[in-house]
Structure formats: C-alpha cells, structure tokens
Structure 1
Amino acid sequence: MLLSISLILIVGMFMGWLCQKCRLPSLLGMLATGIVLGPYVLNLLDGSILGISPELRKIALIIILTRAGLGLDTSGLKKLGRPAVLMCFVPASFELMGVLLLAPKLMGLTVLEAAILGAVLAAVSPAVVVPRMVQLMDEGYGVKQGIPQLILAGASVDDVYVIVLFSTFVGMMQGESASLLSFVNIPVSILLGMAVGLAVGFLLAFFFAKVHIRDTAKVLIILSISFLLVAAEDALTTAITFSALIAIMFIGIGLQKKRAVVAKRLSVKYGKLWVAAEVFLFVLVGATVNIGYLGKVGAKALLLIVGALVFRMLGVFVCLLGTSLSKKERLFAMMAYTPKATVQAAIGGIPLALGFACGDTVLTVAVLAIVLTAPLGAFAMDLSYKRLLKKE
C-alpha cells in the first residue's frame, strides 16, 4: 500500500503540474494517472487501496465541502433566492428527460432502462465543480452576483436528488413499486442536513470561544464530526434520512456565522489539506475508469451524452430566467454545471453488478461521460471565468 500511496502522490502531482504548464486543468493529469496506474492498464495500485477507494474519495469531498462552507458568502446566494432552489433539481430533471427521449431511439433501451441511465448521467460532479467555485470565491470572481455560491450549493444538493431517483428506478427494475416516501425524503434530507450542520457549527463556535486550542486540533475535531455524520447517514435504515455531505458544508457556514475569524484561519488549514486530498480524489476516480469499455462505444453514445448536456444547460438557463445575471454570467453557469465524475464512478457499475440487461450500456456511457466531461468542463471553467465573470 505504501508504494501505491507514493505513486499516487508523486505521479499524480507531477502530471497535474505538467498539465498546468500546458495550460490544461491539473485534474486532467491526475485522472490520466489513475487510468494508467489503475487495474485496467498497468495495475500498479495495491488492491487494498482500491478496496478503500470510495472512502478515500469521500474524505476528499468532506475536506473540500467543509472548506467551501467556511468561505461561503451567503449574502450573494440570498439575493438570487428562487434560482438557488431551482438549480438543485431542475437541470438534473431536464437532463433525465433528455435521456428518456434520446436513449430508447439511440441505444435501444426501454423507458425504465433509459431512466436508470439518465439518473446515472444526471449528477454533476462536486469533485470537479466545488474546488473551482472555492477558487472563484478566493479570487473574488462572480461573488457579488452570487454565481460561485449558487453553483456550489446547487451541485451539492443535485447529487442527493439524483441518487434518490437512481435508487427508486433500480427498485422498480427489481419489481418494487415506487415509494412516495422516497421522493418526500429528498427535500426532507436536504433540510435536515442543513439544520444538523448549522447546529453543529454553532455548537463548535461556542466551544472554540470557551476552550482555546490550536487550529490544527480544531480541524481534527471538525473532521472527526464530519466522519461521524457520514457514518450515521450510512447506518440509518429509516425511510427519512439526512444528507451528511450537506450537513458537513453547513458546519462551515454555521461556524463562519458565529466565529468568522476562526473560520477564516481554518479555511487556510483545509486549503493545505486539499493539496493532498485533491490528488487522491482524482487519481482514484481515474482508477475506476475501465477504458476497455470505451472500445464498445459508438457515435450513438457520444451523441446521447452531448444531447443530455444540451438538455442540462437548457435547465440551467430556465433556472436563471428573471435574474439580473448577464448573458456571460449565465453562460458560465451553464458550462460549470456539466462536469461528471464522482457519482458516475460510484454508481455507474451497479446496474451491471445487479445483472440488468442495460448494465453494460450504462457503465460504458458513464465511463465515456467521465472521460469526456470532467476534463472538458474543468477546462471550460478555468479558461473562461476571468472573461465571463466580474471581479470585486
């Protein structure tokens, strides 16, 4: 395992640096590192580290979501109001609708199989989007208009909505009836996650005011609580749950509201943690990509992904109708909502593992979506934000 960790960090950082020198997103190099070192090419990564890959990727997401919460300016988000809520589910719904229309004709799937494929594709990747929105907030681009806050919050909630839909469609494929309670759980889990996160953030702010400890110790406490929240969500078997990842982001927001100075210092600490976490996240996402499946992909699958993204961007455009955002700012939001990686890597193989007839097709399209949209979406954001957004 030590050799694998060494290879992930050294090769991943070098490839990321190389891509930056070529004016490409660093994550492109990290994804390529994971693909090459992973089990489907050179197979140099230890099986034990691949076995805990989902947990390691989740830790990286916890780090960047906490940092996002610690630096999130909610004043810009409040100005937008309605669009902020719509961005949580409308773009994903539009993309799902696009797949339902296109997949039966292009891929020969049934409507229910197309719904499963649509649910896999419809999630935006927080792993790609959140770090870039944090960078925008740090540099002051679009903050006054609330653009990075809007995209960051929407991307975090979007996944909860899509995963519930995916679970429902898989259940229907297995002969279960669709449960109304599972759909009710979507807004409830989001609201409960916000409430839990804010409560924990306020309590931590009070604790840090009374007990003086090093900032490093504070980071360890927040990380431990975040891990407990994720474990609690996984352990819950009730119909109504809460979203741990949203709770984690709102811990940072709650702490920022009550202890802004501490939140600012902790944000710097989390930024240092992210240097290593980012490498692990994208290299391990790359390691899940089986490029052997790409040989089975024809022009129809590529057309399906492009068509689905058009529907998704149309959904973002609808969400932003009636806002004061300029055409350039809306264009940026539409591009920023296209990258896919983490969710597709996590659930893309489930239909195949369950023995569904559409499983091979779903996994193949999911892999192609990662390879295509993660680097292109990141590249589009990195290349355009200084031209399309206003700097404070």
Structure 2
Amino acid sequence: MLLSLALIFLCGLALGGIFWKLHLPQLLGMLLTGILLGPYVLNLLDSSILGISADLRQIALIIILTRAGLNLDLEDLKKVGRPAALLCFVPAAFEIAGMLLLAPRLLGISLLEAAVMGTVVAAVSPAVVVPGMLKLMEEGYGTQKSIPQMIMAGASVDDVFVIVLFTSFTGLAGGGGISAWDFVRIPVSILLGLAGGILCGMLLVVFFRKVHMRDSVKVIIILSLSFLLVTLEHALTGIVGFSGLLAVMSMGIALQKGRKEAAVRLSAKYSKLWVAAELLLFVLVGAAVDIPYAFRAGAAAAAVILGVLVFRMLGVLICLLGTELNRKEKLFCMFAYMPKATVQAAIGSVPLAMGLACGNIVLTVAVLAILITAPTGAFLIDFTYKRFLSK
C-alpha cells in the first residue's frame, strides 16, 4: 500500500503540474494518473488501496465540503434566495427527464432502466465544483452577486436528491416496490441533515469558546464528528433518511456563523489537507474508470451524455430566469453545473453488482460521463470565470 500511495502522490503531482503548465486543469492530470496506474492499464496500484478507495474518496469529499461550509456566508446566500433553492433539484430533474427521452431510443433500454441510468448520471460533483467556487470566492469573482455561493450550495443538495431517487429506482428495477414514502425520504434527508449539522456546529461553537486548544486539534475534532455524521447516514434506513454530507457542510456553516475568526483559520487548515485529499480523490476516481467498457460503449453512449447535458443546462437557465445575472453570468453557471465524478464513481457499479440487466450499460455511461464532463467542466470553469464574471 505504501508504494501505491507514493505513486499516487508523486505521479499525480507530476502529471497535474504538466497539465498546469499547458494551461489545463490539474484535475485532468490526476484523472489520467489514476487511469494509467489503475487495473485496466499498468495495474500498479495495490488491491488493498483499491479496496478502500470508496472510503478514501468519501474522506476527501468530507474535507472539501467542510471547507465549503466554513467559507459559506448565509447572508450572501439569502441575497440569492429562490435560484439557490431551485438549483438543488431542477437541473437534475431535467437531466433525468432527458435520459428518459433519449436513452431508450439510442441505447435500446427500457424506461425504468433509463430512470436508473438518469439518477446515476444526474448528480453534479461537489469535488470538482466546490474547489472551483472556493477559488472564485478567494479571488473575488462573482461574489458581489453571490454566484459561487449559490452554485456551491446547490451542488451539495443536488446529490442528496439524486441519490434518494437512485435508491428508489434500483429497488424497483430489482423486483422491489416503490411508494410515495420513498420520495418522502428526499425532504426528510435534507431537513434532518441540515438540523443535525447545525446542532453539531452550534455545540462546537460553545465548546470552542469554553475550551481553548490549538486549531489542529479542532480540525481533528471536526473531522471525527464529520465521520460520525456520514456513518449515521448509512445507519438510518426506511423513511427516516439523513444526509451526512449535507450535515457536514451545514456544521461548517454554523461554525462560520458563530466563530467567524476561528472559521477563517480552520478553513486555512482544511485547504492544506485538501492538497493531499484532492490527489487521492481524483487519482482513485481515474483508477475506477473501466477503459474497455468505455471503448465498447461507442458513440451512442457519448451522444446520450451530451444530449442530457443540454437538458441540465436548460434546467439551470430556468432556475436563473428573473435574476439580475447577465447573459455571460448565466452561461458560466450552466458550465459550472456540468462536472460529474465522485457520485458516478461511487454508485455507477451498483446496478451491475445487483445483477440488473442494465448494469453493464449503466456503468459504461457513468464512466463516460466522468471522462467527458469532469475535465470539460473544470476546464470551462477555469477558462471562463475571469471573462464572464466581474471582480
């Protein structure tokens, strides 16, 4: 495992640096590192690290979402209002609708199988979007109209909405039933996640006021609580859903609200953790990419992905109607809501593992969605933010 970690960090840094020199997102180099080191090309990564790949990717996601919460000012979010709420579910719903229209015709699958595929593909990637939005906030681009804050918040809740739908549709495809209670889980998961995270954040504010300690120790405490919140998500089943990742982010927001100066220092600590976590996340996502499946899918699967992206971008545009954003700012938001990576890598293989007939094609489309949208979305964010947003 130590050799694998050394290869992940050294090769990821090297290829990321090369792509940076070429004025391309470092993310591309990290994804390529994972593909090259992974089991489908050079096979240099130890099976033990691949076995815990999902857990390592989740830790990286927890780090970036906590950092997002520590930087997200609720007052900025209140200025945005309605569009931020709509971005939580409208673009994903449009993309799933696009999949229902296109996939049966282009890939020859049933409507239910298209629904399963749509919920796999529809989730935006906070691991790609959030770092990009944090960069914009640090540099002051789009912050006057709260554009990065709006996108960051919407992208985090978007995943909750999509994953609950995915669980419902895979249950139905596996021979189970689907009821109205399955859809009740969506608001329940969101509300309980927000409440749990805010409660933890408020308790931490009180604790940190009474007990003085180094910021490094505070980071360990916050990380441990974050792990417990995400574990609680897996423990709660049935109608009582709970969004652990949303709880992690809202805990950071509550901390930022109660201890602003401490939140700034803690965010700086988390940004240092993100240097290593980012490498682990994207190299391991690249290692999960099944190259033979991707090549076998052909042009039809790529056409489906590009087609549903048009539906997603239309959904984003509808969310932004009636706002003070100009044409370029709306176009930037549409680009920023494109990238997919972590959720697709995490759940893309679940239908295949369940033995569903659509398992292979769902996995293939999930892989292609990562390959097409993660680098393209990251590139468009980097390329357009200085041109489309005011500083």
Give TM-score, length-normalised by structure 2: 0.98
Return the offset for 1:195: 1.3
Report the counterpart of residue 288 of structure 1 in structure 2: 288
Q: Aligned ranges for residues 46-85 of structure 1 at < 5 Å?
A: 46-85=46-85
- Amino acid corresponding to residue 113 of structure 2 in structure 1: E
CA distance in 1, matches of 2:38, 2:61: 21
Return the offset for 1:251: 1.1
CA distance in 1, matches of 2:258, 2:283: 36
* Mapped contact 1:72–1:137 kept (Cα < 8 A): no
Which secondary structure does the structure 1 equivalent of 2:145 belong to? coil
Report the counterpart of residue 15 of structure 1 in structure 2: 15
Report the counterpart of residue 242 of structure 1 in structure 2: 242
Return the offset for 1:346: 1.0
Report the counterpart of residue 89 of structure 2 in structure 1: 89
CA distance in 2, matches of 1:349, 1:111: 19
- Structure 1 stretches of at least 4 aligned residues deviating more than 3 Å after TM superposition: none
Return the offset for 1:359: 1.4
Deviation per CA, 1:192-226: give whole Å up to 9, x if none. Answer: 11111111111111111111100000000000100
Q: Does 1:298 align with 2:298?
A: yes
CA RMSD of aligned residues (A): 0.9
CA distance in 2, matches of 1:182, 1:112: 16
Return the offset for 1:76: 2.3
Report the counterpart of residue 107 of structure 1 in structure 2: 107
Report the counterpart of residue 167 of structure 2 in structure 1: 167
CA distance in 2, matches of 1:192, 1:82: 21
Give TM-score, length-normalised by structure 1: 0.98
- Amino acid corresponding to residue 161 of structure 1 in structure 2: F
Return the offset for 1:80: 1.7
- Amino acid corresponding to residue 117 of structure 1 in structure 2: M
Judged with a 3 Å threshold, the aligned counterparts in structure 2 of structure 1 residues 116 and 238 are, in CA distance, closer, same or farther, namely closer
Return the offset for 1:75: 2.0
Q: Does 1:316 align with 2:316?
A: yes
**More displaced stretch, 136-145 vs 235-244:** 235-244
Return the offset for 1:373: 0.6
Q: Which runs of 5+ in 2 are unaligned?
A: none
Q: Does 1:364 align with 2:364?
A: yes
CA distance in 1, matches of 2:7, 2:265: 31
CA distance in 1, matches of 2:332, 2:173: 37
CA distance in 2, matches of 1:302, 1:310: 13
* Mapped contact 2:73–2:256 kept (Cα < 8 A): no
* Mapped contact 2:202–2:258 kept (Cα < 8 A): yes
Return the offset for 1:138: 1.2
CA distance in 2, matches of 1:40, 1:79: 48
CA distance in 1, matches of 2:242, 2:347: 20
Q: Aligned ranges for residues 137-286 of structure 1 at < 5 Å?
A: 137-286=137-286
Q: Which runs of 5+ in 1 are unaligned?
A: none
What percent of counterpart residues are identical? 65
* Mapped contact 1:74–1:149 kept (Cα < 8 A): no
Q: Does 1:382 align with 2:382?
A: yes
Which secondary structure does the structure 2 equivalent of 1:144 belong to? helix
Deviation per CA, 1:328-353: give whole Å up to 9, x if none. Answer: 11100000001111111111111122
The number of equivalent residue pairs is 391
Return the offset for 1:38: 0.7
**More displaced stretch, 296-305 vs 215-224:** 296-305
Return the offset for 1:175: 2.0
CA distance in 2, matches of 1:350, 1:207: 41
CA distance in 2, matches of 1:68, 1:188: 23
Report the counterpart of residue 135 of structure 1 in structure 2: 135
CA distance in 1, matches of 2:220, 2:34: 28
Return the offset for 1:288: 0.3
Report the counterpart of residue 42 of structure 1 in structure 2: 42
Report the counterpart of residue 31 of structure 1 in structure 2: 31
* Mapped contact 2:35–2:287 kept (Cα < 8 A): yes
